Each structure stands twice: as C-alpha cells, then as structure tokens.
C-alpha cells in the first residue's frame, strides 16, 4: 500500500529543465547579461502599463516586449527604486535613475537545448562574438535578480525564484511509479523511466570523472551536453529537432510528459476516466409507467450492489431483518462492518454471534426502492448526461427508463447501454437529491429552455385526445380518473348530457394541468395571422388550469421555449412539473390503448387524381431539363456572373428538379385527409416530417454527393446503363419513383450513394 518515497540525484553541473527553457529565455531577454538588473524601469509608459497586468504569464510577455529593443544596460544613480505597484501614474511619471552597468547587451536565442549569445556590435577582441551560454552561467545570472525585479516580471520570489528553473538536483520517483515486470522465471524487464534514470546516473558520473581528471573544456562541454540530453528526454521525449531516446529494440522511451498528457495519459485516462466500483451497466428499455425520476433496476443488479447503512437505534430492527434475509434474498445484506473495521461476509457466517449488531456498525445492504443513484449515458456531453434517479427494483435484466428522459441522455432503445452509480455516503446522496435529480434538470440553464418534454406515442395521443371530436363514455372516464394520483375525487360535469353522458378529452386533460394561464399556437396554425381564432382549433388557450381551446402538439407539450412544461416549471417548481409529465403519460397512454392507433400501407397511397398530378409535375420538369440541355448544346445559354456554362447549367437543373420534388410532395400532402394516420404523427410532431410523406408517396427526388448531382464515375457517364455524355435527370441521380412504387436498380444505386456521402 506504500506509495514509495522520492530519492534524488545531485547533478555534477546545472542543466536546463526542458519545461522551463522558454521561460528562462524570456527572463534572460528582460535582465542585463552582466549585472542581472531589469532592462526597463517606470520611466517607460509601456512598462507602467505592463505592471498593471495581473495575470503573471501575460505580464512577463508584456515586459519582454518592453525590453526587446534594448541594446545597452542604461546607466544612472546608485539609489534603487522599487517597482511599487500601488503608485499612481503621476508619481510614476517622475523620472527615476535606472542604475544599470552600461554594458552592451547580446542577442539571446535558442537552438535545440542550447542558449546562444551573440554580441553584434562589439570590436573588443576579449569577448567572443557568438558563444553557447551554459546553464551554470544562466543560473548565476538568475540568482542575482533582485526580488523587486522578479515581482515586476510576474514571478513572485516568495513562491518561486527564477533560478529554480535551472535543474541542479533531479528527483527520482519511487519503484511504484516505475515498477519492473517479470519477463519469465529469471529475467526482469525494467520500466522506461528506470532505464532513463540509469542513463542520467551514468552520464553524471562520467561528467564528474572528467572534471576530476582535469579534462579539456570541449570534452567537459560534450559531457554536459550529453547529461542535458538525458535529463531533457527523461522529462519529454518528443522535443522537436532532437533525436528521440530509444530502447535497444528501436522503440522510443515513454517519458514523464508522455505518461501525463493526452487521452490515454494519467489525467484523462486514469483519473478523469476509469473503471469504478459500485456501478452497473446493462441495456435500457422503455417503461412509460415509471416516473421520470425513477429507473427500473434488474433484481440481479439489486442483489449485487450495496449501500453502507450505519446502524442506529431507529433502524436496528430493520437491519436485523435484512441480515436474516442474507445476501441471496432481496432485500437483504452482504456484509457487516464493525467499528474496528472488521468485515463479516454474510455468505460464510458460521456462528449466530457473528451477525450480532450494535449501534455504530455498518451494514452493506442491497440497494432498494427509493435509493438515489446516478444514471449516465456515454458520451457525457453536458451535465444532463448524468442525472439522479430513484430506484425501482423490477424483474428481468434491463434498466427501465421513462421515455421523456431519453432526450437529455440522447438515448434510444435500439440496444443502447447505460451506467448506474450508487452513492456511498449520506453527503453524496444529499448532493444527488438536491442538485442532480431529473426534475431539477428539466429546464437547462445553458439555453433557458426545457430539455425534456412529451415524446412519441404520448405526444401523438395528446393531439388526438384534445381534438374537438374526442368524446368518452362514463366507464372509460372513471378508469382514466383512477390513473390520476393527484385526482381530488371530483368528477367534472359531462360536456354532453343527452342522449347519453359524454366527456371531452379537453375536460380530462384539464384535470392534469396545474394552475397556469397560457396562449400558444399549434404547428398547423397560420403564423402570418397570430391572433386569428381558426376553425381548425389551432389556438391553444389555457385559463386557470382549464384547457378552453386548441389542440396540444409538440409546440405546447414538447421541449420548447414557453411550452406548458416550461411555464409549469417556472411557476410551480420541479416537483409539480414532474407530476404533470408523469400524469400526462399515464392518462394519455391509457386512453390511446383503448382508442388504438396504427399506420398501414393504406395511409401512404395517394388517390389517382393526385398521382396523375405528380406524374405530370415530374414529366414537365424532365422536359424543362431537356430544353436546358438543348440550349446549352446550341450555345444559347446565358452564363451567370462568375460561373462557367456547366456551373450555370447544373444550378438551373437543380432548381428545376428541386421545385418539381417540392410541388409533387405538396400535392401528395394536400391529398391526405384529416384522419390519415401518417399525417396525424407528423402534425403532432411525434414522428416523421412532411419530406418523409412526399418521398413515400410522390417522389424521392434528386440524390446529391458533396452537394452536387451524381458525378461521372465511368468515362463521361455515371453507370454503363446510360449513354455517354448524358446530362439528363435520370442519369445524374434524379429518383422519380416514390418509396411506395419502388426504385429501379439505377435509382437504388444512386440513392445508396447519396445516403453514404
């Protein structure tokens, strides 16, 4: 269990730390090469502006900009002036003596792991024009920097000094960080870091030996450079312009930086994302009878996952009962943990005394109905991808989920799997209940609109349920009222008394709606006339929870801004909103099961007059394309500005064919009666769109690859079934058949191309 303890290597000579070499270069450009004094002072306006920058990284960059054009370390009086950040601009405007050494400054650059100094305008033979600046010399320059100059550059000397950026001692991580592996019975394979540390120790000893033997300067410089290479590649083995350190096999060594960075690194791969205990994963299936904040958990999972319940005088009897049930009967318990930390596995209990309970013991009991858990679907893209649910233990082997919660999880039931995590402390449970529960996430703070709403068959049922011609007899009304947990016992008076009592769908839906006022419009309302009370009952009016007029559809019940769900959430809170969504589903689904709904092939067949109209539309479009081809061949074509003949031709053909598809689709849609089941789903917003209707009934339309008609794949043609240089609609991917009539082999091939682009 011991994480190990760090050692260290004392380096024979200081070397650059590859992580800090760029920062060291910036600091060297800000201070004098000879006296380590900051090259600028408060006489300069740009430096005064830099001192106002609070972000220390940005301040250093600003000070570098102030100093980059300095050629000489300015001379002045001996008195020193601190860079006082509290002074006003007026005080700072008074000239200050700089107090530099007056020496000429070199140009400082970096080449791989070396820092080069170059004196351009020096005639004195005593100074080399261009030389390598050793880490030892840099260390001396940085050590001489005064604290006030350090602060001015954005480096706080209380926490980090500039000279600490030069490596003089190297930490050695303990074996648990770099464990060796047994290759077979005898040989051991050491970790990459161990190999690298061995190289550093060898290079360090060699340098010490050379110094002791009084080797020439160039040999010592080579040894320092060799040590520098090993220390740098120990930290980062992907330095541009530097050869990678390799094993004997030629595989690059994995350095410290490679272990930490990226998706498979320590942070993202092992800490942010990992396998965890107290979690479960299985396939999800739908259950509209569950509340939105519930999750159905298979009994097999409930028998396996536990929660550590502390024994108190209030629950000791309940805990004893769970222990009697044991680990294989639900609800039961798996372990007893005594105050001294001893664990008793209830599968192997020999004596009755081992199951004795006292206050303060912990019982790891099975998770049970009402326990809060965190439910998650990957990829977790926003905070609503992990939400709190209450458990409902159920038979069979899948997680059960309410349909309205699928939207924020982006889940469907075609084989999706989801994860469940059981909080293990009271604090975590409290946070899940107060922050993460599903009802609290109904309105997203990201866009200030609901992310959950009524979906699928409940949405379709709500539209049919609230139509003007929806009436119910007394027995069905009584059954529906029993589905309402919040029903107050008052039966609304029937809307029709004679010849027999009948209630409307709107009346029963009003029993679900909380006390709100709302005016909205359905999807079929004419948006150009917003205040018109249309004959189609498209204006939704709710007054004091009473649905007076209007058909409810996706606009009113979906995850839309200003929908009923949004208003209820804002005015009555998350619990009332949860109740509204739950009750809408139970009532509408029960009614829809009685009423029945199905979409058959008959709903996709248009009458003969409509089909004649569609055929005429498509044939006239084909004739128009023929005329365009003849025009282009006879050079009577007017090119559009900035476009060639072929580009203009393609654009016009596309316009003609798209218009034909839209016209044919509109004809098909207009022919559908009000009781068409396909149209009912589209207008409710529960499934499908008007494009689906037009492609099923009228014409699939032009297929595109990369935004253009199907290109010539063979020489001057799309398929061998067409003549060469055929620019007509059929050869370039126009599908004139509908899905109902079926596609020809060529059309099917083009459709497959368009679908996979």
- For residue 408, how many C-alpha atoms fall within 13 Å in the half-sphere facing its CB? 31
12 pLDDT more than 60: yes
The CA-atom distances, in angstroms, between 662 and each of 623, 656, 669, 701 are: 17, 10, 10, 9
Q: What is the mean pLDDT of residues 495-516?
A: 95
- Other CB atoms closer than 10 Å to residue 695's CB: what's the count? 20
Distance from C-alpha of 176 to C-alpha of 195, rounded to nearest angstrom: 15
Closest CA to 234 of 250, 257, 251: 257
- Percentage of residues in the chain having pLDDT higher than 90: 75
Instruction: Say yes or no: 662 and 740 in one domain.
Output: yes
Q: What is the mean pLDDT of residues 668-676?
A: 90
- For residue 634, how many C-alpha atoms fall within 13 Å in the half-sphere facing its CB? 7
Instruction: Say yes or no: 286 and 242 in one domain.
Output: no
8-state DSSP, 548: E
The confidence score (pLDDT) of residue 44 equals 87
Distance from C-alpha of 383 to C-alpha of 149, rounded to nearest angstrom: 45
Within-domain flag for 8: no
- Look up residue 738 and give its two tokens: 């509908």
Closest CA to 296 of 397, 423, 410, 197: 397
Query: Final residue of a domain: which of 595, 630, 650?
Result: 595
The confidence score (pLDDT) of residue 460 equals 96
pLDDT digits (tens, 9 = 90+) for 425-436: 999 999 999 999
- Other CB atoms closer than 10 Å to residue 682's CB: what's the count? 20
Q: What is the mean pLDDT of residues 108-121?
A: 88
Q: Which residue range(s) make up the domain with 624?
A: 601-755
Closest CA to 585 of 195, 244, 291, 170: 291
Distance from C-alpha of 390 to C-alpha of 373, rounded to nearest angstrom: 6
The CA-atom distances, in angstroms, between 727 and each of 27, 630, 745 are: 68, 11, 19
- Percentage of residues in the chain having pLDDT higher than 70: 96
3-state SS string for 155-187: CCCCCCCHHHHEEEEEEECCHHHCCCEECCCCC
Query: Final residue of a domain: which of 568, 595, 622?
Result: 595
pLDDT digits (tens, 9 = 90+) for 34-48: 999 998 888 889 999
- For residue 699, how many C-alpha atoms fall within 13 Å in the half-sphere facing its CB? 30
Within-domain flag for 265: yes
80 pLDDT more than 50: no
Q: Tell me if residue 611 falls in helix, strand or coil.
A: helix
Task: Give the confidence band of 491 by pLDDT, cuts at 50, 70, 90.
Answer: very high
Instruction: Say yes or no: 369 and 430 in one domain.
Output: yes
518 pLDDT more than 50: yes
Distance from C-alpha of 354 to C-alpha of 337, rounded to nearest angstrom: 11
Distance from C-alpha of 389 to C-alpha of 377, rounded to nearest angstrom: 13
**Kind and range of the H or E element at 223?**
helix 217-235
Helix 192-212 / helix 217-235 crossing angle, nearest 10 deg: 160
The confidence score (pLDDT) of residue 531 equals 72
Residue 691's domain is classified under what CATH number? 1.10.132.30
Token pair 């006296």 is at which residue?
Answer: 35
Distance from C-alpha of 709 to C-alpha of 33, rounded to nearest angstrom: 68
Within-domain flag for 511: yes
Within-domain flag for 698: yes
Q: What is the mean pLDDT of residues 443-472?
A: 95
Instruction: Say yes or no: 709 and 728 in one domain.
Output: yes
Evaluated on CA atoms 713, 716, 722, 728, the torsion sign reads positive
Instruction: Say yes or no: 324 and 435 in one domain.
Output: yes
The confidence score (pLDDT) of residue 79 equals 46
Distance from C-alpha of 49 to C-alpha of 69, rounded to nearest angstrom: 17
Alpha helices by DSSP H, listed for 438-573, are 456-465, 474-482, 505-512, 554-557, 564-572
Mean pLDDT, the chain, rounded, equals 91
**The CA-based dihedral angle spanning residues 218, 221, 223, 225, taken in that order and rounded to the nearest 10 degrees:** -140
Instruction: Say yes or no: 108 and 154 in one domain.
Output: yes
Closest CA to 699 of 602, 603, 626, 613: 613
Instruction: Say yes or no: 256 and 326 in one domain.
Output: no
Contact 232, 225 (CB under 8 A): no
The CA-atom distances, in angstroms, between 536 and each of 503, 641, 672 are: 20, 47, 16
516 pLDDT more than 70: yes
pLDDT digits (tens, 9 = 90+) for 266-299: 999 999 888 999 999 999 999 999 999 999 999 9
Instruction: Say yes or no: 294 and 195 in one domain.
Output: no
- Other CB atoms closer than 10 Å to residue 52's CB: what's the count? 10
Distance from C-alpha of 94 to C-alpha of 92, rounded to nearest angstrom: 5
Task: Give the confidence band of 205 by pLDDT, cuts at 50, 70, 90.
Answer: very high
DSSP symbols for 265-323: SIIIIIIIS---SSEEEEEEEE-TTS-TTEEEEEHHHHTT-EEEEEP-TTTHHHHHHHH
Q: What is the mean pLDDT of residues 146-157?
A: 92
123 or 573: which leads in pLDDT = 573
Token pair 């000893």 is at which residue?
Answer: 205
The confidence score (pLDDT) of residue 73 equals 87
Within-domain flag for 7: no
- Look up residue 46 and give its two tokens: 């740009």
pLDDT digits (tens, 9 = 90+) for 542-589: 999 999 999 999 999 999 999 999 999 999 999 999 999 999 999 999
Q: What is the mean pLDDT of residues 180-200?
A: 88
8-state DSSP, 405: G
Q: Tell me if residue 414 falls in helix, strand or coil.
A: coil
Residue 551's domain is classified under what CATH number? 1.10.274.100
- Other CB atoms closer than 10 Å to residue 584's CB: what's the count? 25
Residues 6+ apart with CB under 8 A from 17: 165, 166, 167, 231, 235
Within-domain flag for 117: yes
Instruction: Say yes or no: 461 and 336 in one domain.
Output: no
Instruction: Say yes or no: 332 and 478 in one domain.
Output: no
Within-domain flag for 394: yes
Distance from C-alpha of 224 to C-alpha of 442, rounded to nearest angstrom: 64
349 or 199: which leads in pLDDT = 199
Taking the model in full, what pTM does it have? 0.79
Query: Final residue of a domain: which of 415, 443, 471?
Result: 443
**Kind and range of the H or E element at 630?**
helix 608-633
Instruction: Say yes or no: 590 and 613 in one domain.
Output: no
The CA-atom distances, in angstroms, between 472 and each of 80, 436, 546 are: 95, 40, 18
The confidence score (pLDDT) of residue 639 equals 83
Within-domain flag for 505: yes
**The CA-based dihedral angle spanning residues 150, 152, 154, 159, taken in that order and rounded to the nearest 10 degrees:** 40
- Other CB atoms closer than 10 Å to residue 722's CB: what's the count? 17
Percentages helix, strand, coil for the chain, rounded to the nearest 5? 40, 15, 45
8-state DSSP, 519: E
Distance from C-alpha of 683 to C-alpha of 467, rounded to nearest angstrom: 12
Closest CA to 44 of 64, 62, 66, 27: 66
Number of domains in the chain: 5
Contact 284, 273 (CB under 8 A): no
Instruction: Say yes or no: 419 and 307 in one domain.
Output: yes
The confidence score (pLDDT) of residue 595 equals 93
252-276 burial, b at 16+ Cβ within 10 Å, e below that, comes to: ebebbbbbeeeeeeeeeeeeeeeee
Distance from C-alpha of 691 to C-alpha of 668, rounded to nearest angstrom: 11
**The CA-based dihedral angle spanning residues 656, 657, 661, 662, taken in that order and rounded to the nearest 10 degrees:** -30
Task: Give the confidence band of 86 by pLDDT, cuts at 50, 70, 90.
Answer: low
């Amino acid at each position: 269990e011991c994480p190990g303890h760090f050692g260290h290597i004392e380096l024979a000579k200081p070397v650059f730390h590859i992580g800090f070499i760029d920062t060291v270069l910036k600091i060297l450009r800000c201070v004098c090469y000879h006296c380590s004094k900051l090259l600028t002072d408060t006489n300069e306006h740009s430096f005064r502006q830099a001192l106002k920058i609070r972000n220390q990284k940005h301040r250093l960059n600003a000070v570098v900009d102030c100093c980059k054009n300095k050629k000489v370390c300015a001379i002045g009086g001996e008195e020193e002036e601190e860079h006082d950040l509290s002074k006003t601009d007026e005080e700072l405007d008074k000239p200050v003596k700089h107090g530099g050494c007056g020496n000429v400054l070199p140009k400082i650059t970096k080449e791989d792991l070396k820092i080069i100094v170059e004196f351009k305008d020096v005639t004195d033979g005593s100074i080399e024009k261009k030389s390598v600046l050793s880490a030892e010399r840099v260390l001396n320059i940085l050590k001489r920097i005064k604290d006030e100059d350090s602060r001015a550059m954005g480096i706080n000397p209380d926490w980090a000094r500039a000279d600490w950026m030069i490596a003089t001692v190297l930490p050695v991580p303990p074996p648990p960080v770099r464990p060796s592996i047994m290759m077979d019975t005898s040989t051991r394979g050491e970790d990459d870091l161990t190999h690298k540390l061995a190289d550093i120790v060898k290079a360090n000893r060699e340098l010490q030996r050379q110094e002791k033997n009084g080797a020439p300067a160039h040999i010592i410089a080579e040894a320092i450079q060799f040590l520098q290479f090993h220390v740098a590649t120990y930290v980062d083995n992907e330095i541009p312009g530097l050869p990678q350190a390799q094993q004997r096999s030629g595989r690059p060594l994995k350095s410290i930086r490679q272990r930490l960075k990226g998706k498979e690194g320590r942070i993202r791969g092992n800490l942010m994302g990992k396998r965890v205990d107290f979690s479960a994963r299985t396939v999800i299936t739908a259950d509209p009878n569950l509340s939105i904040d519930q999750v159905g958990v298979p009994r097999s999972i409930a028998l396996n996952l536990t929660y550590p319940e502390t024994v108190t005088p209030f629950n000791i009897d309940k805990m004893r009962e769970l222990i009697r049930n044991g680990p294989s009967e639900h609800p039961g318990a798996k372990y007893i943990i005594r105050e001294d930390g001893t664990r008793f596995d209830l599968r192997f209990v020999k004596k009755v005394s081992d199951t004795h309970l006292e206050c303060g013991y912990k019982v790891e009991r099975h998770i049970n109905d009402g326990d809060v858990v965190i439910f998650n679907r990957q990829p977790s893209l926003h905070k609503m991808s992990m939400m709190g649910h209450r458990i409902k233990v159920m038979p069979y082997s899948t997680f059960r989920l309410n349909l309205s919660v699928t939207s924020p999880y982006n889940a469907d039931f075609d084989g999706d799997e989801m994860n469940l995590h059981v909080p293990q402390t009271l604090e975590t449970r409290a946070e899940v209940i107060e922050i993460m529960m599903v009802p609290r996430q109904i309105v997203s703070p990201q866009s200030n609109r609901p992310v959950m709403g009524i979906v699928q068959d409940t949405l379709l049922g709500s539209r049919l349920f609230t139509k003007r011609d929806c009436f119910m007899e007394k027995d069905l009304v009584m059954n529906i009222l029993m589905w309402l947990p919040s029903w107050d016992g008052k039966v609304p008076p029937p809307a029709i008394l004679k010849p027999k009592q009948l209630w409307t769908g709107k009346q029963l839906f009003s029993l679900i709606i909380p006390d709100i006022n709302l005016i909205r419009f359905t999807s079929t309302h004419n948006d150009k006339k917003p205040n018109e009370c249309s004959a189609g009952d498209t204006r939704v009016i709710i007054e004091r929870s009473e649905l007076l007029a209007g058909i409810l559809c996706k606009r009113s019940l979906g995850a839309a801004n200003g929908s009923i769900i949004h208003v209820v959430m804002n005015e009555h809170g998350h619990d009332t909103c949860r109740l509204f969504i739950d009750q809408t589903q139970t009532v509408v689904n029960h009614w829809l099961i009685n009423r029945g709904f199905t979409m058959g092939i008959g709903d996709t067949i248009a009458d003969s007059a409509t089909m004649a109209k569609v055929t005429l539309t498509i044939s006239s479009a084909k004739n128009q394309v023929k005329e365009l081809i003849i025009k282009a061949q006879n050079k009577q074509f007017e090119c559009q500005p900035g476009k060639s003949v072929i580009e203009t031709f393609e654009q016009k053909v596309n316009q003609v064919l798209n218009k034909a598809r839209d016209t044919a689709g509109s004809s098909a849609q207009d022919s559908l009666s009000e009781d068409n089941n396909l149209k009912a789903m589209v207008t409710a917003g529960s499934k499908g769109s008007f494009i689906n209707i037009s492609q099923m009934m009228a014409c699939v339309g032009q297929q595109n690859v990369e935004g253009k008609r199907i290109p010539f794949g063979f020489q001057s043609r799309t398929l061998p079934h067409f003549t060469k240089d055929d620019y007509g609609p059929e050869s370039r991917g126009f599908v004139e058949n509908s899905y109902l009539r079926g596609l020809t082999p060529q059309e099917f091939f083009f459709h497959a191309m368009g679908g996979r682009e």
